[in-house]
Structures are given as structure tokens and as C-alpha cells.
Chain A
């Protein structure tokens, strides 16, 4: 049960929304799918969900094409809330579950189970518009997973998020899109290791501003405790350490992997929020 995208391209007239996208997401893995606005994330999703036809390439799930006959395998949790505001939670979930091929006799106990899990059993008969945003999100989540989808939570997640820290915590692998093209793709560890640039976290009792002029320092950011430096090569760290020794008390000198945020900014080269 692997989701495979093979050289998927989507053209709108002369414009390439997605160009030559190839991915492989194995069963049970949480995959991060990153990109700035307009990078082609939504278009890719829509092609995976079968809402848009790809201009070229193939998308397969477990070897066969994904379409509406397999929609019961897919759970979709949109970024924005997407529910009928005027409907009761129960009506809503029963309807949405029925569209994923679930009978009422199956969806009602499952819904009650989830409402109990979230400790909000009284919402069963409540209208969605009367719930708080956070609680609506719970209902949205239930709507996405009530039919036990194979593609989403539990087995494999396609994760669309601007929030890097979540991605870093959750995803084993990821892919960064820029103007429809893949710029970074692989396991998170490998991506970080091969990124080249490293960060040095400095906590000192003296002013570190003099390091700004150091030729090995490619990025400098003062912090409350000292500074954060970016260096092009791991080996440059040694030279920096020599520089600060003897200037005063060094509380912390740490060589760190770049954050996903750094990688994103570097590769996409623009603000993502």
C-alpha cells in the first residue's frame, strides 16, 4: 500500500502548476509536503484525490489508479474548516460517512466513540455553528477519519502545513515544492545532513558582534544570550571556536543541524507565511 507519483505534470495552458513530480510514500509513513503559496501543493493534492486529471504522469495507490471508486480509502482533513454550519454534528457526520460508503448503523457508534474520546459526547445533537472553532476542528477531524481511511491518519499521512515545527516533529520524509518543481526530497535526517550549512549557537558573556566580519560566518543573528551563526561547512566550526576562546566566559558553544525553517527559506527563497 504505497502511494506513488511518477513524473506527474499539470499544465494550465502554458503554465506549469506542477512539473515532473515523483514521490513514493510507503505505508504507515507520515510525509511532509511543503511549499510556499502557489508552489503547487493544492494542485498535487487534487490530482492525488482525482479532482484534477494530470496532464502527464501516473498516480497509483498500491499499484492501481485512485479514483472515486476508492474514495472510501481516503480521508481528507482540509486546512480550513469545511462543514455544514447549519447541520447537527450527527447529521453531518452520518452524511459525510455515507458518502465514504459507511452505513448509518456503522457511523453512529463510531461517531459516539470519537465524541467520547474527545470528551464531548453532548455535541452529538449540537449544530456545528454553535461550537467553538477548536471544537469544530474536532468534528472536522472525526469527519476525516471516521471511515478508517488508508490514506491519512493511522497509516500514511499526506501532510500539508505551513508550520515547520510540526513537520519536523512528525514527518520522517518530506518534499519541498517550488514553482511546481521538487527542490528537496528525501528523509528528514538525510536532508538535514546533506544541506551543508550548519548553525552554531553561542551563549557568551561578551559581545559577539566581531564575528560578523569573520569570513567563515555566512549568517549572523544576535540573540539575548549571544548569537546564532550560520557556517557553510562543518569544519569551519573549529576556526570560530578558536576566535571566541579567551574573549571571556563561553557558556555554550553548540554545532547544530539546520532547522527545517532554514532549509525551507534557503531552498524556496521566499517567505512561506
Chain B
């Protein structure tokens, strides 16, 4: 094994075996496990009494209400009572959650809903809507409107959204993509932020423990720098693979219904995942190079956060912009931003995921991104070479000049 791989594997293995990594990965996996189990957990805690209310009304009204509420998610079981005393007893016995009194008074339905606890807003809405419907029905009948006219009144109007751009995705597709893009954006954000700052910490800790002095005497600094970037990349891939492996298998088996629709896995094209992987990788490379450069300038771990602050700010800004773009991906602002290399990993991915954009745009942005990585890599390597030899308290960007001078011939 040559020195490059030795350093890369050492970086990977020491991080991989560290308690910190095991704990974070453990927490992440638990979190993923927990999140994907939410539907199941909800079912366990979901008691029948939460969806049951008592009703005091005429028998006819009760039947009408029962029909309307039958398939309601919030309230679907009704029990008829004749006195409030009985209802109060039922609440104490935990057979109902509350009760509603309703009926005709002066040609108009009125209703009162009583619960011992403050009820869910959505439950109140559900019961209110139902009784409003009964009232509307009653009023319509009184007006003697024929059934087919009634049907027309109630029918939802046909509403279609047509995009004038040929390559735009349909609203349906967009909605499905949005959930997944949101999650993948988050993955890009977290991994770029977390793993690239790991490099700075790694470099600074090697400097502060002075092991760097020995390392630079046996491995060229530039080789070390890129070996570290690779080592952490392998680490990140391991972690992401673990997380996604678990997440996806759990989602596949347990997620049908609401959340599954939100994520819309089946309908999202494979290319979205491929692009996500490409942008995670390129984004990581860009910021890891920057992070190594900055990390080489400080000699104490405490100074790392301060030093990489401008970098983290850029990443956070990119994430914020992409959150805005989530609801309006085709705006010219988002289009413009997607070509700025520091924002490309998130914002171009957002556009790729949500819109159908011409390939040349993707190619240009990736080209610009790779170009920036190369330039930053060459520049970073020179700073790094000098930076690792510098010791001192200071931690400012002026040190970049000092570091460059050290790495020059004179």
C-alpha cells in the first residue's frame, strides 16, 4: 500500500472505530428507525375512545350525522344519548370523548359541543362541517330544489392546471418529487456540513497534538490532504449507506399511505437519486477542500469553528435558498443561483429534482463546480503545505498569505 492509501485508510479507520462515530451513527439509525415507525406507533396509541363522541338529538338527525361521519378520520363512532347526565357519566367511564347537542330551532340547526378537555381543532371542524351539511341539506329541501340541480350545486368544479412550458412537470409529479427532494436536500446539507468540517477538525487536531510534525516528515502534505479528504469520504459513504439502507428497507415495508405518498418513491425517476449522489459527492469535495485549507491554518481545535465559520455560512445560505426554491423552483433567482458553484450542489439538485431542465444547464453547472474544485484543490494544497508548518495563536485569513509564502521557494 502506498502512503496515500495508508493515510486515507488510517483516517477512515480511526474515525470509524471511534466512540463518537459509533454513537452518532447509533443515534442516527435509531432516529431513522423511530421516524419510519411513526405510523405504527400512532396505531398503538390510537384508542377508540379518541374518535367516539356522544350525540343528543332526534333519531333522524342522529342517522344523518352517522352517515356523514362514517368515514371521518377524526370522529367515526357516534353513540346516541338522551340526557346530558348520561353523557357526563360516559365521559367519566371513558367511552366517549365529548358530546354534541344539536337539533332544529327556529328553522335553523344549532349545535353545542362539550368536552372535558380542550378538543382537537380538527375534531371540532369535522363535527361542525357535518352539522353544517345537515343544515344545508335541510334548507335546500325546504327550497324544493330538484335532485339533479342539487347535485350540480354540490359537485366540485373541474379544475385543471396546465403548464405552458413544454418540459415542466405536472403538478402531480411536482408534489410527489417535492417530498423526496426535500429529504435529499437535507442529506446533502448535513453531509456537506458535517463531513467537510470533520476534515478541518482532523487537521487541526493533528497539528495541536504535534503529530503533524512527524507526519509531514514522512508524507508530502498535499498527499496527506487529499488522502484525508478521501478517508472521510469513505466514512461518509459508509454512514449514509447504513442510514439509507435501514431507512429504505423500513420505508418499503411499513410505509404505505400518507407519508409514502408524500415521498412518492415509486414515481420519482432513478436519475434524481443519481444526481443526488453526484451532488453530495461534488459538494463534499468542494467544501472538504476548503475545510482542509482552513483547518491547516489553525493550531488549536478550539479555533476550528471560528475559522470555518465563513464556509458553514455559505452552506447554510445555500440550504436556505434551496428551501425557498422548494416552493418556487422555476424562478429566475433560483436558476441564477444554481450556477454559482458554492450553491450548485443544493440548488441545481433542487431544480433537477423538481423541474425538467435541459441537460446542458446541468452539464454547465457541474463543469463549473468541478472547475472550482480543481482550482480550490490546487490553491488549497499550496496553503496546506505551508499551513501545517505554522504554529501560533492567530486564526485569521491573513494567515493564508503567510502559508502561501512558506510553501513557495522564496
Contacts and interface: CB of A to CB of B under 8 A. Distances in A.
Interface in B195-251: 206, 209-221
B329 to A, nearest CB: 45
A76 B214 contact: yes
Interface in B10-31: 10, 14, 18
Nearest to A51: B216
Closest 4 pairs (CB-CB, A-B):
A82-B210, A55-B410, A99-B218, A11-B410
Contact of A95 (B10, B209, B408): B10
Interface string A49-88: 1011111000000000000100100101010111111110
Contact of B6 (A52, A84, A95): A95
Contacts of A83: 209-211
A159 to B, nearest CB: 16
Nearest to A71: B218
19 contacts: A11-B410, A12-B405, A51-B216, A51-B221, A51-B389, A53-B409, A74-B217, A76-B213, A78-B210, A82-B209, A82-B210, A82-B213, A86-B18, A91-B14, A96-B214, A96-B218, A99-B215, A99-B219, A143-B214
Interface of B: 1, 3, 6-7, 10, 14, 18, 206, 209-221, 389, 405-406, 408-410
A98 B211 contact: no
Given A71-B218, A95-B6, A84 B211 contact: yes
A82 B3 CA distance: 19
Nearest to B7: A99
Interface of A: 10-13, 46, 49, 51-55, 68, 71, 74, 76, 78, 80-87, 91, 95-96, 98-100, 143-144
Contacts of B219: 68, 71, 99
Contacts of A81: 209-210
Contacts of B1: 98
Contacts of A78: 210, 213-214
A82 B214 contact: yes
A76 B217 contact: yes
Given A13-B405, A52-B406, A99-B3, A84 B216 contact: no
A144 to B, nearest CB: 8
B217 A51 contact: yes
A71 B2 CA distance: 13
A82 B388 CA distance: 14
A128 to B, nearest CB: 9
A193 B148 CA distance: 125
Contacts of B217: 49, 51, 71, 74, 76
Given A68-B218, A83-B211, 13 more contacts: A11-B410, A46-B389, A49-B217, A51-B216, A51-B217, A68-B219, A76-B217, A83-B210, A84-B206, A95-B10, A96-B214, A100-B218, A143-B214
Contact of A84 (B209, B389, B405): B209
Given A51-B216, A76-B217, A99-B215, A85 B209 contact: yes
A99 B211 CA distance: 13
Nearest to A85: B209
Contacts of A52: 389, 406
A129 B408 CA distance: 36
A82 B212 contact: yes
A91 B3 CA distance: 16
Nearest to B6: A98
Contacts of B220: 68
A170 B213 CA distance: 25
Nearest to B386: A52
Contacts of B216: 49, 51
A49 B212 CA distance: 14
A52 B389 CA distance: 9
A107 B210 CA distance: 22
A95 B381 CA distance: 23
